[in-house]
Amino acid sequence: MSKKKRKEEPYSLDIHFWLMSIIWLSLLVVLFLVPLLFGVFPKAIRSPWFQIAALTLFMNLSISICNKMTDVFCLRRDENGITACQITILLNITVWIIGFLIIFNIQKDSRYFLAIGIIGTALGWVFQDTLKGVLAFLHVRLNHLLSIDDWIQVPKYNVDGEVKRITLTTITVYNWDTTSSSIPTSALHSDHFINLQKMALGKTYGRLMKKNFLLDTSLFHPLSAEEVERLKQRDELRHFLPEEEIHEGAINAQLYRRYIYHWLMNDPIVSQQPRLMVSWQEQKEVGMTLQVYVHIMRGGYSAFEWQQSRITEHVVEALDWFGLRLYQSPSSHDISNYMNSLAKQEATSRKEVGS
């Protein structure tokens, strides 16, 4: 579904909404009109069943209108309107419950009090997630933790995208893979979620890039005179490594780390705050890990991935300049290369015809 279609969707003719509104309004009119036609309106209006029926119809009509208005306010990004509609729904339900107790005169010494208490406890247990959702909605809205079009991630539900609708019970998110997810509002209170909107708008230092590169330590060695001369002839290194640091006996891995650090320091897309680090991690059986920890000042989904890939490609490209390489577990083709090198034959990954 295109972005344009999604934006027009809340304004489309919602047949279900109009149909339900007409039904509730018609029932409300009939409820008052029939007693008037038969001349029993004064008597009917005093009936508890008439009163609770009228209250129920009015509540359903009001909730239906509020739900539709929520769609409109979500499209317009009117946060106050969304909150007002959802609180109105909550007030409608509260008024109905209080009205029910008053209409049927249910008090502590009433014969129906125990039954209502048991039913209320059972309903509270059944709809406990809904009640948690209401509390989570109030918590999120009052503390301004979430707004329409915010980019959020909810790892537990595999959600990663923009918020498009917020209600008392559910939050609708359009994921970056063009799917949509509806998660319970209570999940934002009980589970971990990340709001990336400020970062995407450039209101932070940038988006974190934390990459580990496993290097083959068998190639760590002091530079020879020939290697020193070759490095000094590289134009790419002159701006980021002082010439006096490139000397015979210097460890190639150390110079490589310093080069990557200074190259990142001079990259206009990389933020030097809150921290920029290029560091060696714990030595492993298969090699040593070089960690690049930087913040990229392009927080958007596509822009960040592009810049992260650009930095990764340069880190890998520069390895060869210093006589280094990434560690990779031997594949069947690597073993074939090794065996054929012993036999002084060229390895091939293709199957010979007739073999």
Q: Is the pLDDT of residue 256 over 60?
A: yes
Domain assignment present for 349:
no
Strands 194-195 and 180-184: unpaired
Give the C-alpha distances (Å, rounded to integers) separating 240 from 58, 73, 235, 255. 73, 53, 10, 10
Q: Is the pLDDT of residue 76 over 60?
A: yes
Final residue in a domain of this structure, among 77, 94, 126: 126
| Domains of the chain: total | 3
pLDDT-based confidence at 2, cuts 50/70/90? very low
Query: What is the CATH number for 220?
Result: 3.30.70
Please check whether residues 109 and 175 belong to one and the same domain: no
Give the C-alpha distances (Å, rounded to integers) separating 256 from 103, 238, 262, 269, 272. 81, 13, 10, 21, 19
Please check whether residues 68 and 148 belong to one and the same domain: no
User: Lowest-pLDDT range, 8-12, 181-185, 206-210?
Assistant: 8-12
Q: Give 263-293 pLDDT, tens digit per residue.
A: 999 999 999 888 899 999 988 888 899 999 9
pLDDT-based confidence at 325, cuts 50/70/90? very high
Per the model's pLDDT, the better-predicted residue between 238 and 265 turns out to be 265
Domain assignment present for 236:
yes
Q: If DSSP codes are grouped into helix, strand and coil, which group holds residue 276?
A: coil
| 251 backbone dihedrals φ, ψ, rounded to 5° | -75, 130
Please check whether residues 77 and 10 belong to one and the same domain: yes
Give pairs for 81-87: CB < 8 Å, separation 24+: 82/148, 82/166, 83/141, 86/137, 86/166, 86/167, 86/168
Domain assignment present for 346:
no
| 281 backbone dihedrals φ, ψ, rounded to 5° | -100, -170
Domain assignment present for 202:
no
Please check whether residues 122 and 185 belong to one and the same domain: no
Please check whether residues 73 and 104 belong to one and the same domain: yes
pLDDT-based confidence at 17, cuts 50/70/90? low
Query: What is the CATH number for 181?
Result: 2.30.30.60
Q: Is the pLDDT of residue 351 over 60?
A: no
Q: Which residues are 293's β-sheet partners? A: 210, 277
pLDDT of residue 18: 62
* Mean per-residue pLDDT, 48-66: 82
Beta carbons of 247 and 241 less than 8 angstroms apart: no
Domain assignment present for 131:
no
Please check whether residues 227 and 247 belong to one and the same domain: yes
Domain assignment present for 57:
yes
Please check whether residues 62 and 108 belong to one and the same domain: yes
Omega cis (within 30) before 242: no
What is the domain extent for residue 257?
A: 207-322
| 210 backbone dihedrals φ, ψ, rounded to 5° | -130, 100
* Mean per-residue pLDDT, 49-56: 80
Q: If DSSP codes are grouped into helix, strand and coil, which group holds residue 185?
A: coil
Q: Which residues are 161's β-sheet partners? A: 152, 175
Helix 79-103 to helix 128-142 angle (10° resolution) is 140
Please check whether residues 6 and 122 belong to one and the same domain: yes
Final residue in a domain of this structure, among 102, 126, 150: 126
Residue 207: exposure state from Cβ atoms within 10 A (0-12, 13-18, ≥19): buried
**Closest C-alpha among 93, 102, 96 to residue 127:** 93
Please check whether residues 149 and 189 belong to one and the same domain: yes
Please check whether residues 183 and 235 belong to one and the same domain: no
Domain assignment present for 53:
yes
Q: Which segments within 185-300 are labelled E, that is strand?
A: 194-195, 207-215, 270-271, 277-284, 287-296
Please check whether residues 156 and 238 belong to one and the same domain: no
Final residue in a domain of this structure, among 68, 96, 126: 126
Domain assignment present for 348:
no
Strands 159-166 and 194-195: unpaired
- Token representation of residue 214: 């496993």
Please check whether residues 70 and 118 belong to one and the same domain: yes
pLDDT-based confidence at 159, cuts 50/70/90? very high
Highest mean pLDDT (candidates 11-20, 85-94, 255-264, 338-347): 255-264
